[in-house]
């Protein structure tokens, strides 16, 4: 069995920074909360919770005067306001790329209607939209464009500023922008804010999946960027498996003569990828 591991597999720099800072905070604090999943990987969260971190769903679940980590995906604006009211100390580990998008939007929102291309219910896009004012819209599919047009016509803006969820499918972003341009006649400014690490990982996955018999995508079940890697792989490879850890491979049969490609999502620890490689080689 030949195993090829993508060079962009595993933690991106932003996730690595977030996980390191969260571990430092947990190690130095008697009690600390994390609002939502720090990153979309079960192994990372389990390790931190074993050390004492408590994952909560709402800022209301945190005690007054406590410490709370803001996850890599960021939070909605009202969360920050409520934390201040409850005298909560925040460790804001929102990815720098996402913070940069917020800043760009802040500089455009007085003049432009903001369009965020991404998953409608993803914490990143919901957080970004909360900083975008009322004249904003999350667009996920072509079917959403007519609704966007109607909302835009009712707004006071006459120009569009388009950004992207940092982990969105790059090709799909381009297709949706073309669709918008075919429908809208106003001035449109496009800022493709997909993270470089995401673009590189998607492109490598596309090429790798063309040249192997089996693709194994490693990542959390809630990870948007990992699911995109699965979609891309399926376009080129007949056998694609999305797994969270080595246990998910127990009931999967892979012939020893196969060429196997492995790509880990941005929030997948290197140790998990190594365990899968060891398992395949040992089997």
- Using a 10 angstrom Cβ sphere, with 0-12 exposed, 13-18 middle and 19 or more buried, the burial of residue 236 is middle
Rounded-to-integer distance, Cα 230 and Cα 223, Å: 11
**Catalytic-labelled residue, pool 37, 42, 75, 124:** 124
CB distance 36 to 220 below 8 Å: no
E-state strands within 23-168:
32-35, 53-56, 67-70, 89-92, 113-117, 136-139, 159-164
6 CB contacts (<8 Å, ≥6 apart)? Answer: 201, 204, 205, 208, 261, 262, 263, 264
The DSSP output letter for 95 is -
CB distance 55 to 37 below 8 Å: yes
Rounded-to-integer distance, Cα 171 and Cα 232, Å: 10
Reply yes or no on whether 124 is catalytic.
Answer: yes
Catalytic (active-site) positions: 124
């Amino acid at each position: 069995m030949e195993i090829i591991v993508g060079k962009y597999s595993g933690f991106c720099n932003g996730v690595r920074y977030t996980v390191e800072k969260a571990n430092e905070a947990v190690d130095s604090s008697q009690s600390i909360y994390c609002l939502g999943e720090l990153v979309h990987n079960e192994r990372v969260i389990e390790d931190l919770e074993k050390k004492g971190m408590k994952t909560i769903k709402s800022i209301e679940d945190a005690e007054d005067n406590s410490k709370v980590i803001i996850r890599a995906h960021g939070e909605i604006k009202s969360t920050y306001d409520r934390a201040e009211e409850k005298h909560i100390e925040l460790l804001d580990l929102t990815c720098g790329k996402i913070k940069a998008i917020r800043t760009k939007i802040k500089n455009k929102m007085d003049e432009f209607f903001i369009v965020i291309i991404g998953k409608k219910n993803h914490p990143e896009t919901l957080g970004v939209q909360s900083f975008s004012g009322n004249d904003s819209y999350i667009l996920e599919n072509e079917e959403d464009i007519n609704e966007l047009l109607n909302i835009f016509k009712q707004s006071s803006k006459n120009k569009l500023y388009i950004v992207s969820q940092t982990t969105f499918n790059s090709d799909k972003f381009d297709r949706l922008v073309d669709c918008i341009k075919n429908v809208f006649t106003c001035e449109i400014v496009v800022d493709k804010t997909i993270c470089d690490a995401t673009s590189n990982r998607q492109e490598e996955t596309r090429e790798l999946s063309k040249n192997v018999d089996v693709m194994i995508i490693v990542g959390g079940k809630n990870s948007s960027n990992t699911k995109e890697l699965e979609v891309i792989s399926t376009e080129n490879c007949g056998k694609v498996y999305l797994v969270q850890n080595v246990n998910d491979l127990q009931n999967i049969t892979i012939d020893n003569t196969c060429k196997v490609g492995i790509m880990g999502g941005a929030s997948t620890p290197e140790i998990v990828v190594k365990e899968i490689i060891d398992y395949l080689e040992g089997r």
